[in-house]
Amino acid sequence: MERDDLGRRVRAELDLTRARITALEAGFEDVVRSAEDVATDDEHDPEGHTIAFERQQLASLLDESRTQAGELAAAIARLESGTYGSCEVCGRPIGDARLEALPATRRCIACAP
């Protein structure tokens, strides 16, 4: 895959991730708002555990998506600086197949943890 194609893919992935963040934030706000309206006691209300679990699950997905957005933004910065596709550990090229599978990766397969 050409570097220009990979660059477009990274930008598209970032756009999708940002859209996911927006949707998750809205979902999180809905859960919080609905919990406030009901005034449940998580410990004693049978639905409380479900609401707490849903809220925590959305918070976790939001954290993961924000981290991914940061990694994709860093990949775009590497594209713009001309270092995209070079391993940050050994400096060798990262294989195209790895970049296709993990567009924000910073390391070649040999240096990956």
Asked whether the beta carbons of 84 and 6 are under 8 A apart, the reply is yes
| Residue 96 placed within a domain | no
Whether 102 is in a domain gets the answer no
| 78-94: average pLDDT | 95
Residue 100 has pLDDT above 80, yes or no: yes
- pLDDT in the model for residue 79: 93
Q: Is the pLDDT of residue 96 over 80?
A: yes
Per the structure, the count of domains in the chain is: 1
Can you tell me the distance from the alpha carbon of 79 to that of 28, in angstroms, rounded to the nearest whole number? 33
pLDDT at 68: 97
**Where does the pLDDT of residue 83 fall: very low under 50, low under 70, confident under 90, or very high at 90 and above?**
very high
Domain containing residue 17: 3-85
* Residue 47 in domain: yes
Residue 49 lies in a domain: yes
Task: Report yes or no on 15 lying in a domain.
Answer: yes
Identify the CA nearest to 99 among candidates 112, 85, 83, 80.
85
* Per-residue model confidence as pLDDT tens digits over 5-59: 888 999 999 999 999 999 999 999 988 887 776 655 555 555 556 778 888 999 9
Please check whether residue 106 lies inside any domain of the structure.
no
Question: Which pLDDT score, from 0 to 100, does residue 106 have?
Answer: 96
For residue range 54-81, what is the model confidence (pLDDT) as tens digits? 889 999 999 999 999 999 999 999 999 9
